[in-house]
Amino acid sequence: MNFTSYEFILLTGLILVVYYCVPKRFQWMFLLAASYGMYASAGWMCLVYISITTFSTYLAAVKISKLSGQKADYLKEHRNGMDKEARKAYKDSIKRKQKVWLWIALAVDIGLFVVLKYSNFFIGNINALCSGLEQWKIIPYTEFLVPLGISFYTFQSMGYLLDVYNEKENAQKNYAKLALFVGFFPQLSQGPISRYEDLSRSLYCGHEWNAETVCFGLQRILWGYFKKLVIADRISIGLKTILAAPEQYQGIYFGVAMIFYAVQLYADFTGGIDIAVGIAQAMGITLKENFMRPFFSKSIKEYWNRWHISMGSWFKDYLFYPLSVSKTMLRISKKSRKLLGEEAGKRVPVYLTTSIVWFCTGIWHGASWNFVVWGLANCAVLLVSRELTPVYRWCHQHFSLEKKKWYPVFCVCRTVVLMSALRMFDCYRDVRIPVRLFFGMFTENNFSELWNGGLLRLGLSMADYIILLCGAVLMLSVSLVQRKQPVRKTVSELPYPVRTALWLLLFTAVLLLGAYGQGYEESQFIYNQF
Amino acid sequence: MEELMEILSELHPEVDFEQEERLVDGEILDSFDIITIISEIADTFDVVVPAREIVPENFNSAGSLWKMIQRLEDGE
């Protein structure tokens, strides 16, 4: 169910009311029923798929945890009768058993995820590769229903399982509680990808009605809807026009599309997260923040630490590090040092691991090659900027760049432009198009389109541009204020009539300026597709 | 400990590793640095750092890194 559908808004309101009416000890059970009810509305098969993932994760985690307990008891009992070697042998035997359970569950989770999300990607590629062969019969595409948020809940489940395997978490023995962790409805459609340690703290305990918490939650939801309905959905009209006709809209229009997409993606994704975090907060549940003013980053590395934080940290903790310290990678490291020398050789495993992680990040975003190219382009920028660190240091020392007031602004602008340009790979399936259009910006001189009415032919009126400009300024201002303390806290310190007027104004803006009206079709959040 | 200090100093000559206690929390070491350190530890001390040990507490200072190496050498 889409966050912007009337059904979702009504049901969420109802859930919130009932949540505070049921006794505290039953609240989490009610939330599970509500979450599964919401999910079932997208199709019963979605419920079957999420249950398979939950059950395999639950079973493996319980078995792994049991083996850990067994190990601890045994070692304690035989503390004096075992030498170092015997202890190690025993630990290894338990680890092997745990590994079997881990791999079974990961195979089920990843297998289901890959089959449902990537079958048609593989089929399309096989068909394309083999189309030249004689007597090749085209493989028909599958018609699986891809469950909403499968990328998010699968990764969340695997993260939990790996935490149990690494003995950072104890397994949740209550199946229904784990089912709620995996299927908690606000985070199901576009994250954040929560860690069990964070979410479990507030998910299962009962919550008293607290007017301030509920109010803050509702305000956050309202701000999310403002970003989504007033900004993202409005700017998407102009963006769609440009993207639909790459031959017609070239030159400066590609620059316009870059800005439009950056604003749309930011408003859309952070808006969705605001709604998810707000709903949870209204119920007294804390979801971790997924953004930290990413467009204020001074480098791509910093940007990726501040954008979609839960996904970045997931890939870092559960893929990048384990892969880096795997025996295979350490062997590669040794061999490459022998072959290429110390300096170049030690870079090989780092480069290899980083490329694998970014390949996965790319394909996680979408089952098509343009996302892979986008991921690898990010990887290339990160690695090149790392290699250029000595050059940056030299420049900083010789030109005292850090003392210059304009330098941080330049760095922020550089990050915004670079990220906006890379993001355009998301928009075109054929990766050659954004590359050609990007260079076309410097060769085709049609800057005059910016002031001769060209922008008004994109489906957006002057009023739309004014609303977008005000919305963008508002988002920027909120980000600036947020650096000191949450905006809602700042607003709550204002006199009652002023703060009430401000929230009413925002509510009215969503009602009047949101993408409603005749012919309105609720548009999906961009990250729903991932 | 000397060998460990050498590894760290080679990576970030500008950092005072004897004093610094917020290498990860203070964003002095990034993920690339961490895997470089792990790879160097494997070579120098013949110790494999498992993924579960890659937590800020183990990498925040030279002292905590040294403790982790010793713990892993002891097979704990």
pLDDT tens-digit series, residues A173-232: 999 999 999 999 999 888 899 999 999 999 999 999 999 999 999 999 999 999 999 999
Q: Would you place residue A429 in the very low, low, confident or very high pLDDT band (cuts 50, 70, 90)?
A: confident
Q: For residues A311 and A323, give the distance between their C-alpha atoms in angstroms, rounded to a whole number.
A: 17
C-alpha A266, offset from chain centre? 12
Q: Which residue of A has its CA nearest to B76?
A: A88
The C-alpha of A508 sits at a distance from chain B's nearest C-alpha, in angstroms, of 43
Q: What would the DSSP string read from start to end of A352-384?
A: HHHHHHHHHHHHHH-SSHHHHHHHHHHHHHHHH
- For residue range B21-42, what is the model confidence (pLDDT) as tens digits? 899 888 888 888 888 888 888 8
- For residue range A469-504, what is the model confidence (pLDDT) as tens digits? 999 999 999 988 888 888 888 888 889 899 899 999
B34 contacts A166? CB cut-off 8 A: no
Q: Could you give the ipTM of this predicted complex?
A: 0.83
pLDDT value of position A519? 45
Q: Tell me if residue A70 falls in helix, strand or coil.
A: helix
A333 contacts B54? CB cut-off 8 A: no
Mean pLDDT along residues A441-450: 86
Angle, helices B2-11 vs B62-73, to 10°: value is 130
Angle, helices A6-21 vs A252-282, to 10°: value is 20
The C-alpha of A321 sits at a distance from chain B's nearest C-alpha, in angstroms, of 6
A330 contacts B39? CB cut-off 8 A: yes
Q: Does the CB of B38 have a partner CB in chain A at under 8 Å?
A: yes
- For residue range A240-286, what is the model confidence (pLDDT) as tens digits? 999 999 888 888 999 999 999 999 999 999 999 999 999 999 999 99
Mean pLDDT along residues A366-371: 89
Mean pLDDT along residues A82-87: 82
Task: Report the share of chain A in percent with pLDDT over 70.
Answer: 97
Token pair 């229904």 is found at A176
Q: Would you place residue A517 in the very low, low, confident or very high pLDDT band (cuts 50, 70, 90)?
A: very low
Residue A35 has pLDDT above 90, yes or no: yes
The residue range of the domain holding B39 is 2-73
Return the CATH number at B43: 1.10.1200.10
A321 contacts B51? CB cut-off 8 A: yes
Neighbour-count burial for B12-29, b at 16+ CB within 10 Å, e otherwise: eeebebeebeebbeeebb
pLDDT value of position A523? 59
Of A167, A349, A354, the CB nearest to B39: A349
Contacts of B48 in chain A (CB under 8 A): 325, 327, 330
Give the predicted TM-score (pTM) of the model: 0.88
pLDDT value of position A530? 55
Q: Would you place residue A337 in the very low, low, confident or very high pLDDT band (cuts 50, 70, 90)?
A: confident
Contacts of A325 in chain B (CB under 8 A): 35, 38, 48-51, 54
Of B38, B43, B75, the CB nearest to A325: B38
- Rounded to the nearest integer, the mean pLDDT of chain A is 89
Q: What would the DSSP string read from start to end of A289-323?
A: P--S-GGG-SSHHHHHHHSSHHHHHHHIIIIIHHH
Single-letter residue type at A242: I
Whether a cis peptide bond, with omega within 30° of 0, leads into B56 is: no
Q: Would you place residue A528 in the very low, low, confident or very high pLDDT band (cuts 50, 70, 90)?
A: low
Total structural domains in chain B? 1
A168 contacts B43? CB cut-off 8 A: no
pLDDT value of position A518? 43
Mean pLDDT along residues B50-66: 90
Q: For residues B67 and A84, give the distance between their C-alpha atoms in angstroms, rounded to a whole number.
A: 19
Mean pLDDT along residues A518-527: 54
pLDDT value of position A373? 93
pLDDT value of position A379? 94
